[in-house]
Structure 1
Amino acid sequence: MGLPVGSPMPEFSLKDQEGNWFHSNDHVGKAPLVIFFYPKDFTPGCTAEACAFRDHYEDFTEAGALVVGISSDSQDSHRSFSKRHRLPFILLSDPDRKARKQFRVENRFLNLLPGRETFVVDRNGVVVMAFEGMRASGHVQNALKAIKNL
C-alpha cells in the first residue's frame, strides 16, 4: 500500500500531456486533489479507469476537486490517450517514476506491472484517502466518496 492517510502530499513537478509543468505545491491551499496512478495508456484496465474518471469528472469538479492521472508514459502517449478518450483532466508523465516512488506506489505481479493506486489529498495537502487495487473498479467510487466527505 502506498502513502498512508494522514501523510503530507509529497512535493513533485511533472509535465502534463501538453508539455506544461504541474507543481503539486501550487495546489495546496486551493483545491482538493484526486491523484490516480495507473500502469499504462491504452491498456484495457487503464482505459476503463480513465474513462470512469471522465464519466464522473463533473461530480469531482462540482465538489471543487482537481483530477490528475499519473503514469510513466510519455507526454505524446498521454496526449493521444487523452484525445482518443476525450479525457478532460490532466495526465502527468512520470518517466523516471519519481512521483510513484514518493507516493510509495509499488509494482505488482512479480514486480513487473506498475501498481494502481488512487489518493485524495485535501486542500491542506494531507492525504485523506488511499485506495489500492489492480482492478480499475472501485477507484472512482472511493475517491468520490472521500471528496464528498471533505
Structure 2
Amino acid sequence: MVKIGEKAPIFEAVTDSGERISLADFIGKYNIVLYFYPKDDTPGCTTEACAFRDNWDSLKGFDAMVIGVSSDDTNSHKKFKQKYNLPFILVSDPDKKIREMYNAKGFILPARITFVIDKKGVIRHIYNSQMNPGNHVNEALKALKQIKSEEMSKS
C-alpha cells in the first residue's frame, strides 16, 4: 500500500491520444493529480471527470497535471474525452498494473481514489471515496493549496 510521504510509483502507459507517457515525464515540472476511476462515461465517473474539467483553471494555477486512469482502452478514453471536452490526460490500464502499484483495486468495483503528488514525486494526499465522485477535485485542490503554501514559505 502506498502511503502519504512516500515516492509515487513510476509507471508507463498509453494515453487517449495513443502516446506513450511515463509519470517520470511530469515529476520536477508539475504537481500531479493522479485519479483512478472505474469506467468511462458512467454517471459517477462522468461527474468526477467533469468536476476536474470545471476546475481546470484553478488546477493549472497550482502547476497541476491531471491524469485519469481506468482499464478502458484508448479508444474509449478518446470518445469520453471528446464527449465531455476533458482537457487532461486519460491513460489506459487494461491489465490493472498501475492500479496494483497504487493499491487502487477496490472490491466489487474498481476503486475511485485520487493521489496528489508534488513536484518531487512524493505522495502528499490520498482521497478514497466511491460515493462522492464530485469531491475528488475539492480534495485535490486543498492538497495543492497546502503544497503551494509550503513552497511559498520556503522562498
Q: Report the TM-score when normalising by structure 2.
A: 0.91
Q: 1:142 aligns with which of 123, 139, 143?
A: 139
Two-structure CA RMSD over aligned residues (Å): 0.9
Unmatched segments (≥5 aa) in structure 2: 148-155
Paired letter, 1:13: E
Q: Using the TM superposition, give the Cα deviation of residue 137 of structure 1 relative to its aligned residue in structure 2, in angstroms.
A: 2.8
Unmatched segments (≥5 aa) in structure 1: none
Q: Match of 2:37?
A: 38
Q: Using the TM superposition, give the Cα deviation of residue 30 of structure 1 relative to its aligned residue in structure 2, in angstroms.
A: 1.3
Q: SS of the residue aligned with 1:119?
A: strand
Q: Match of 2:116?
A: 120
Q: Using the TM superposition, give the Cα deviation of residue 112 of structure 1 relative to its aligned residue in structure 2, in angstroms.
A: 2.4
Greater mean deviation of Cα atoms: 87-96 or 129-138: 129-138
User: 1:1-150 maps to which residues of 2 (within 5 A)?
Assistant: 3-107=2-106, 111-135=107-131, 136-150=133-147
Paired letter, 1:146: A
Q: SS of the residue aligned with 2:2?
A: coil
CA distance in structure 2 between the aligned counterparts of 1:113 and 1:99, rounded to whole angstroms: 16
Structure 1's consecutive aligned runs of 4 or more residues displaced over 3 angstroms after TM superposition are none
Q: Report the TM-score when normalising by structure 1.
A: 0.94
Kindly provide the CA deviation profile for residues 15-64 of structure 1, in whole angstroms up to 9, marking residues without a partner as x: 00000011011111111100000000011000000000000011111111
CA distance in structure 1 between the aligned counterparts of 2:72 and 2:92, rounded to whole angstroms: 6
CA distance in structure 2 between the aligned counterparts of 1:31 and 1:89, rounded to whole angstroms: 13
